[in-house]
Chains A and B, each alone.
Chain A
Amino acid sequence: MGDRETGVVTLKVNGKEITVREGTLILDAAREAGCHIPTFCYQATLSGVGSCRMCLVEIEGQRKLQPSCVTPVMSGMEVKTESESVISARQAMLEFLLSNHALDCPVCDKGGECELQNMVYTYGPRKGRYAEVKIRHHEKDYVLSPVIVKNSNRCVQCMRCVRVCGEVVGRGVLGAIGRGAHQEETSFLRSYLDCDHDGMCIEVCPVGCFMRRPYRYRARPWDLRGSRTVCPYCATGCRMTIEERDGEVVRSIAREGEGFNDKMLCARGRFGYDILNSGGEERLTTPLIKKNGMFEPVSWEKALSIIREQFTKADPRRLGGIASAALTNEELYLFQRLVREVLGSGNIDSTSRWDAATTGAFIFATGITGGGVSIYDCMEAETVFVVGGQVSEENPVTDYIIRYVSDSSRKSVLVASTRAMKLDTSAELSLRHLPGRLGALFNGLVLTLYEDNQERLEGIKEIGVLKGRTVTDLAAECGVSEADLRALCARLESSGSISMVVGTDLLRFREGISGLRLLGDALRALGKVLKILPVLDRCNQRGAWDMGVHPLFGPDYRKVERAGLGCDGMLDQAMDGAMDALYVVGEDVVNMYPDRTFAEEALSRVGFLVVQDVSLTDTARMAHLVLPGAYPGEKEGTFTNQEGRVQHISRLLEPPGQARVDLEIIEAVGSSIVHGFSDGTPQTVFDEIRREVSMYRDAAFSGGSPDGWLVKKSARRLEGFELIEEKKVSLDADPEHPYFLVTGNHIFLSGSLSRRSGILNELVREAVVEISEEAAGELGVIDGQTVSVSGRGFDATYSVRIRKGTPREVVFIAENFEDKAANRFYKRGDVVPRVKITA
């Protein structure tokens, strides 16, 4: 009884005494004590159902065996996990499961890594007595989604798929139909409804009920050679293993205990691996030089000598480099050294979408220099405020973690976004605000806080700018009802600890950052424990900033003596004909810059454009010289995800033909100009990073914890971004074009890289425009219908997708479609373009 106060319980497992936290399940306690208990239905991240009965244990004093996965420990309990009755119960259970199992292991894709197989080999009876006809749900496997194949005859009814679909993915597509032995876990009418196609059901299924369609009958697990890598499709940075057979990558898989994401991956991560196989004309395999408007192959020596000649003769101020945030830390670090030290230029950027001052302010406001913040630490807070982005679609696994942690621990989740979001169903309160009005929302919150706690917030100078404003007009400005705004504020005020999950809308709309900083300051002044998790969309965006691939600061956020130009500035200068040379690595400027026509025009005026990429992108087509680079699966290095987690990626395949790893290319370019530039191995460059960047001082290159390593607080303070001027985003009425266009990443796509994946393209066959229910009603269109969307300078046809809960005036087009690129709707300087839709 004395244990109650201390919150710990002492019990005996197989005679061994252990002490665990109160409320621990017997299963976890036993595993802690080193006793293995077999399970099917138990999964740490899911709710307990106790349906498989494999984990039965004997408890002294209780006549019946108890399922350990749903029974919490009690003080003085004596648990036996290997007693005679337990062993015979396990055997009986397995015999029972096998009595209605298809037993088609030679055909089943799971054969060789099947939990039921392993269990029967370890614990099972070696013979069955059941001789009747087995229940068959269907004769042939059926296709549940373009990526999932289903065979219900193998089901052991553990319900993991149903639970993961509802509790983690948040879709609830799967359910159990029927009762008893006739129960089948499937979707309504065996159609895929609103499926996210992330294949979580495949990963959690202990048997071969759910199978990957692209991997169907391709290999056995023992044929595969794998390497641990990080998903390149967003900054969540999920750990995964890509596996190849005969030089072809056949699957990517996330395993429990191998990374912070355990088995979680989204559709992109789990099915987008086939970009590595995309060979043929798509993939660049040799350097190309443009002669008379046509590309011709050229040798590396010749290519490098041309680069040396062009780069050395150019004026450093008329030179520049843009590196993609999908490169490794080592490549980005070396690239920034190349541009700054070798070429002597300060013009460098890691994105073509956002402007330099805004990203600087964003880094300052979200406290990125303060070191890494684990998402699980963020989820410890009482309240989680998701704002400024479409987490559910841009970073699906971040969304899964928020959902399952908050649902299982009854946290309050608050959502503020421009469009309806999947996370709404888990949220206590979700608001829809107008695009480009986050500043007003944050200010409204600050003002409400200020009204209630005037004396405590008096110390914050910047609140002065809000004098004269009222909560009512700020709420009206951002298109939220005042009552909702106040309710949101009340939630924040009543929580002792708050985590803010902040998306990239602040960067896209170039506003709201001062508001975020003000809100952060106000909440801290009120004594709240505040953590901010930036949610980014390029896999190594945070690493790119840490490495100093930014015109306004160097590695470790060191102030640069002379600020250079960002992508925006470089294109401006190019437009004036004052760019002699530009070195673009992996970034598709033409498709990503918000105003495609301008970007094309500017790039065509660059004196000498070098593009290094894996395939001939629209930007590469404009280049004078094209260098063939490599995909993440072909190189070694580290990525830093949005949390600041440094994770090592290893090499699985060799780049094809004469293509080379980007690090080697950057090193070769550097060495061709300055002798002994670097030796260009990932390990030595990483050692250099550890010396130069204080945040990475103690980081390990490879090995270490499977969860990666969180960067430390920077020794330096980011300066110069405390105050930036924010232009108010114009949302004036335009009767001609009644809808606001919002862009972002599609749930199945990220950047232009994912468009090269055949499997992902199968999920998104055509370019889609997402509109609200109200707008659909006005236009009289239905889901899947083709409509034409016209902006002020561009129009195209899209397929309609109706999204319930999105405000009437908001229209969404993903940034990923190259043929109908969303950036064509933008005129330079536009933040929220207006469009018209006609059925």
Chain B
Amino acid sequence: MNEKKVKIVKRDTPGALDLAKKTVFLDFIKGLSITLRYNLSRSITIRYPDEEKWIPYPRFRGAHTLNRDEEGRELCVACELCVKACPTNCITVVPMEDDTGKGIADRVAKVWEVDLARCFFCGYCEDACPTTAVRLGRDYELACFELDKARKTKEELLKPQSVPEDFEGGIIVQAKLQRTKSGIKVKPNLWKKKEKK
């Protein structure tokens, strides 16, 4: 390897001009003026999670959701193709027979669980699904204190998503940080868009 050449910079001896600059704190004022300028300009960071939140685009791959059709029937027929397609083995599906019209066929999922701690959000399950029942949604706040909480059951996944499917996304909206006993949530207000430069 080449030897690194160390450049030795010779400092000039301090002159009168320097001394003057120091006495009026010129560098200090320069620095402060930048701070002051940013202080007054529009902020470029997102004030997440207290006030704002970024809503991803529809193609975003976040936590799984299970969908229903227009009549409210479960789309999932528990064919287990998502399980087969999953590279990390994080999905568990157990089918059962249900003739009550709960699902679009008489085969519905008795168990549909995904371990989000294992999932790496590749979206193969989405691709494999013949009924578009499983979609990767736009929820990305998945941190939790216990591993068990990372397992999402069918009941949780069937709840409507926080961001509807047809919402455009790619924007920052107003949000509110909510501390509850079950954890911390950032609730967006989708209709209060925050413009950024």
Contact = CB atoms under 8 A, between A and B. Distances in A.
B84 A217 contact: no
Interface stretch (A87-95, A218-226, A598-606): A218-226
A721 B94 CA distance: 58
Most chain B beta carbons < 10 A, residue from A111, A217, A222: A217
A216 B130 contact: no
A220 B84 contact: yes
A217 B79 CA distance: 9
Interface string B91-105: 000111101000001
Given A140-B106, A141-B106, A217-B107, A106 B95 contact: no
Most chain B beta carbons < 10 A, residue from A105, A106, A219, A222: A106
A277 to B, nearest CB: 15
A144 to B, nearest CB: 16
B80 interface: yes
A220 B94 CA distance: 9
Contacts of B105: 104, 106-107
A747 to B, nearest CB: 28
A106 B83 CA distance: 13
B55 interface: no
Contact of A106 (B81, B96, B97, B99): B81
A218 B106 contact: no
Interface in B45-101: 77-81, 83-84, 94-97, 99
A247 to B, nearest CB: 13
Contact of B79 (A106, A216, A218): A106
B161 interface: no
A222 B85 CA distance: 12
B96 to A, nearest CB: 6
B84 A107 contact: no
B131 interface: yes
> Interface size class for chain B?
10 to 19
A105 B94 CA distance: 16
Contacts of B80: 220, 223
A156 B106 CA distance: 22
B144 to A, nearest CB: 26
Contacts of A107: 77, 79, 105-107
A216 B78 CA distance: 12
Contact of A111 (B79, B94, B131): B79
> Interface size class for chain A?
10 to 19
A98 B12 CA distance: 89
Contacts of A106: 77, 79, 81, 105, 107, 130-131
Contacts of A104: 105
B97 A216 contact: yes
B84 A222 contact: yes
A213 B45 CA distance: 60
A140 B107 CA distance: 12
A110 to B, nearest CB: 12
A140 B106 CA distance: 9
Interface in B13-28: none
A113 to B, nearest CB: 13
A105 B128 CA distance: 13
B96 A217 contact: yes
A697 B106 CA distance: 55
A759 to B, nearest CB: 15
A216 B97 CA distance: 7
B97 A217 contact: yes
Contacts, number: 37
A218 B77 CA distance: 12
A106 B80 CA distance: 8
Contacts of B107: 106-107, 217
Contacts of A140: 99, 106
Nearest to A140: B106
Interface string A274-291: 000000000000000000
A218 B130 contact: no
Interface in B85-143: 94-97, 99, 105-107, 130-131
A218 B93 CA distance: 10
Nearest to A149: B97
A98 to B, nearest CB: 16
B105 to A, nearest CB: 5
A105 B107 CA distance: 12
Contacts of A141: 106
Nearest to A216: B97
Contacts of B78: 217
Contacts of B77: 106-107
A218 B95 contact: yes
Contacts of A222: 84
Contacts of B79: 105-107, 111, 220
Interface in A174-229: 216-220, 222-223
A712 B79 CA distance: 49
B95 A217 contact: yes
A218 B107 CA distance: 10
Interface string A140-181: 110000000000000000000000000000000000000000
B81 to A, nearest CB: 7
Contacts of A220: 79-80, 83-84
Nearest to B99: A140
A223 to B, nearest CB: 7
A622 B50 CA distance: 74
Nearest to A104: B105
Nearest to B133: A106
Contacts of A246: 94
A190 B164 CA distance: 47
A405 B99 CA distance: 43
Contacts of B106: 107, 140-141, 217
Contacts of B83: 220
A244 to B, nearest CB: 13
A219 B79 CA distance: 9
A246 B94 CA distance: 10
Nearest to B92: A246
Interface string A74-108: 00000000000000000000000000000011110
B145 to A, nearest CB: 29
A175 to B, nearest CB: 27
Interface in A236-282: 246
A357 B137 CA distance: 77
Nearest to B95: A217
A370 B2 CA distance: 90
Interface string A372-412: 00000000000000000000000000000000000000000
Contacts of A111: 79
Contacts of A219: 94-95
A451 B163 CA distance: 97
Q: Which 10 A-B pairs have the closest CB atoms?
A: A106-B79, A217-B95, A106-B130, A107-B105, A107-B107, A220-B80, A217-B97, A217-B107, A106-B77, A107-B77
19 contacts: A105-B130, A106-B79, A106-B107, A106-B131, A107-B77, A107-B106, A107-B107, A140-B99, A140-B106, A141-B106, A216-B97, A217-B78, A217-B97, A217-B107, A219-B95, A220-B80, A220-B84, A222-B84, A246-B94
Interface of B: 77-81, 83-84, 94-97, 99, 105-107, 130-131
Given A106-B79, A216-B97, A220-B84, 13 more contacts: A106-B77, A106-B131, A107-B77, A140-B99, A141-B106, A217-B78, A217-B97, A217-B106, A217-B107, A219-B94, A220-B79, A220-B83, A223-B80
